[in-house]
Amino acid sequence: MEKMYSPWREVYMESFKDESHPFHPAKDIFTDIPPEQDEERYVLHRAKKSFIIMNLFPYNCGHLMVIPFKQTPELSDLDDTTKLEIMQLTDIGIDALRRTIHPHGFNFGVNVGRVAGGSVDSHIHFHIVPRWEGDTNFMPVVGETKVLSNDMRRLYNELRKAIKEIVQEKAGK
């Protein structure tokens, strides 16, 4: 398989060497983000019970996650207010992606448990993956290489601005 350099994955790979690293599976990488590190850690928006963050290891450009502040592996452990807020933040995230990078569609879902594909199976989180017609092209199919064409920092700034506008619009309704 051909390899394409993705410098943002280096942090993930290094996490397996040092158990004190913030991305080590023994430490909750989602609840240990202080608000003053939001920009550094790509947190886009915080609500009362959950937040939106960019995925540092995206499947596609603009891959977001909606994460409850409560650490639990199970959807059934979340109260109804948190579940509703997660859906509201999902709606905001999708709207922000439509306004900024204009995907043709989305995958939205959750992996419950490691066997389902959950890389952080101790803290439930929801994925919003933007999709474009033809985004599965020859590179991943034949070349077994994924190309991500957006600069994460620039996209973060655009998404954060769009989310702020959307939240203000919804508050005005």
The string of pLDDT tens digits covering residues 98-115 is 999 999 999 999 888 777
pLDDT at residue 78 tops 80: yes
Contacts of 68 (CB under 8 A, 6+ apart): 49, 50, 78, 82, 86, 124, 125
**pLDDT tens digits, one per residue of 2-61:** 555 566 666 665 665 554 434 344 457 777 788 999 999 999 999 999 999 999 888 888
Is 125 annotated in the active site? yes
Flag the least confident range among 57-61, 63-67, 129-133, 146-150: 146-150
CA distances from 18 to 9, 14, 21, 132, 147 (A): 15, 7, 6, 37, 29
What's the pTM value of the predicted model, to 2 decimals? 0.77
User: Please, what is the average pLDDT of the chain?
Assistant: 82
Tokens of 20: 């004190």
In this predicted structure, what is the pLDDT of residue 122?
Answer: 78
Catalytic choice (24, 102, 104, 125)? 125
> Cα dist. 81→51, 77, 84, 92 in Å?
14, 12, 5, 16
- 10 Å CB burial of residue 104 (0-12, 13-18, 19+) is exposed
142 pLDDT higher than 80: no
